[in-house]
A and B are shown apart, each in its own frame.
Chain A
């Protein structure tokens, strides 16, 4: 399939995307975070973007989200430029960040309602939806707690509820479980993957953990510095343990290179 065809059919499409930081006149003064990145993500796909710290994953994430403009190339989300046509994607993208980023002056339910307020949803309806997502994520009884009164795991659940409440078709997740302890992280990861599949979302999941990428992704894209794709693999449901072990070994080799 050509890149143009990909762009038409893909939910998220990046073509020859580069991003550099700095104001210098020459290349030596620029920090090149992403360099000629091409990637297409189809509707309903759950892609794990895997790479070492500092490889440009978060910059890529911010460009897809529309918070950063690419220095070169094109980024398209549902056919729109997420930076230039920022408001056109309102309600279509939801984000789960590395840390929970809850507004400290809002209660748990107030935080979940945030995205719904942006969509001008009537307050009673928004409250009902926020309440149901909090219940679904095991936070019944904590609706009126402020973030400081919640544990790290509970706060991250609130941020997941906040992302799902808007019913956006695209979910962007930037290492959302990396700050949690292993058991809580594992449990939330499973819940999260089930929710994404049940709700048929397109999800981009950034991680630096091979285990997490293999557990969550239908497809794992390994990035090397500066944010170039070094390995792109689809994980089949019926893969044998030998096949999975081979994929893991290949990923380890790519990351070690």
Chain B
């Protein structure tokens, strides 16, 4: 009895939640579809056309390989920036002199627009992949470095002292204290940088690549195919959503220790 009541109570809540998530997208789709009836298709193509293009990309291995190439570039650039940023942040957290020396340089890098890095990469490097890897790494590096640095500095001194009182080796200190303490900030950094990277990679591919989603967008622009442009854009949106979901699942598992307050902020 109690179980059936709980089930009856849970269903409307889940349905409401789904409706809340879907409503803005449905409204946006409806507005777009109405616009498609009133404007030429090269401005506002029908959603059916967009859907057909999207499925065509999924169905064709040669087209989907372009999506995978872009995904690979995003992940390679982010992993590179993360590893380099973590190494720099660790040294900055450990040595105040290096921190004072490197912080202004990183701030300077943060002010350089992504498009400038694209130009620099084209001048400095031969070949598409090194260029895009360089652009992705340089644009994400300052953010990863500062986020990991803040995470290291934000660790509870009380907890660090407590673990130190057991006289751990460096490896054990990292495993039992540092990694769990900074993981929330690292995952947040990945979430933020993932969105940024998906925008930067398109710019990099538009200018300096002969394949990938950015290159395909350029092709759609040259033939004025708005449905195709939207379909290729959606591939990147799907990728970001899938990655965000994976990170959310990691967070749900890794942070299961957190207390859940009944009264939210």
Contact = CB atoms under 8 A, between A and B. Distances in A.
B180 A90 contact: no
Interface stretch (A30-38, A113-121, A235-243, A247-255): A113-121
B164 A101 contact: no
Nearest to A95: B165
A169 B257 CA distance: 32
Given A103-B176, A114-B176, A117-B176, A148 B259 contact: yes
A160 B142 CA distance: 43
Given A103-B176, A105-B180, A105-B257, A90 B166 contact: yes
Contacts of B165: 65, 67, 93-95
A119 B165 CA distance: 13
Interface residues of B, number: 19
Contacts, number: 57
Interface stretch (B50-58, B155-163, B206-214): B155-163
A99 B161 CA distance: 12
Contacts of B158: 97, 99, 101
Nearest to A113: B176
B167 interface: yes
A67 B163 CA distance: 11
Counting chain A CB atoms within 10 Å of each CB, which of B159, B162, B168, B258 scores highest?
B162
A111 to B, nearest CB: 10
A115 B168 CA distance: 9
Nearest to B168: A118
B177 interface: yes
Contact of A67 (B159, B164, B168, B172): B164
A117 B172 contact: yes
Interface string A125-154: 000000000000000000000111100000
Given A103-B177, A104-B257, A114-B176, A87 B167 contact: yes
Contacts of A107: 257
Contacts of B176: 103, 114, 117
Nearest to B162: A101
Nearest to B156: A101
B100 to A, nearest CB: 16
Interface in B149-185: 158-159, 161-169, 172, 176-177, 180
Nearest to B180: A105
A181 to B, nearest CB: 21
Contacts of A147: 257
Contacts of B257: 104-107, 146-148
A21 interface: no
A117 B259 CA distance: 26
Interface string A193-207: 000000000000000
Nearest to A163: B165
Contact of B172 (A66, A93, A106, A118): A118
Contacts of A66: 167
A245 B259 CA distance: 47
Interface in B228-265: 255, 257-259
A170 to B, nearest CB: 11
Contacts of B159: 101, 103
B259 A118 contact: no
A97 B176 CA distance: 19
A149 B259 contact: yes
A241 to B, nearest CB: 38
A42 to B, nearest CB: 22
A166 interface: yes
A90 B164 CA distance: 10
Contacts of B180: 103, 105
Counting chain B CB atoms within 10 Å of each CB, which of A67, A99, A107, A118 scores highest?
A118
Counting chain B CB atoms within 10 Å of each CB, which of A86, A105, A114, A118 scores highest?
A105
A210 interface: no
B94 to A, nearest CB: 17
Given A97-B158, A101-B162, A89 B167 contact: yes
A118 B258 contact: no
Nearest to A118: B166
Contacts of A99: 158
Given A87-B169, A91-B167, A104-B258, 9 more contacts: A65-B165, A89-B167, A95-B165, A103-B180, A105-B255, A114-B176, A117-B172, A147-B257, A149-B259
**Which 5 pairs of residues, A with B, have the shortest CB-CB distance?**
A148-B259, A101-B162, A90-B167, A95-B165, A118-B166
Interface of B: 158-159, 161-169, 172, 176-177, 180, 255, 257-259
Interface of A: 65-67, 86-87, 89-91, 93-95, 97, 99, 101, 103-107, 114-115, 117-118, 146-149, 166
9 contacts: A95-B165, A99-B158, A103-B163, A106-B257, A118-B169, A118-B172, A148-B258, A149-B259, A166-B166
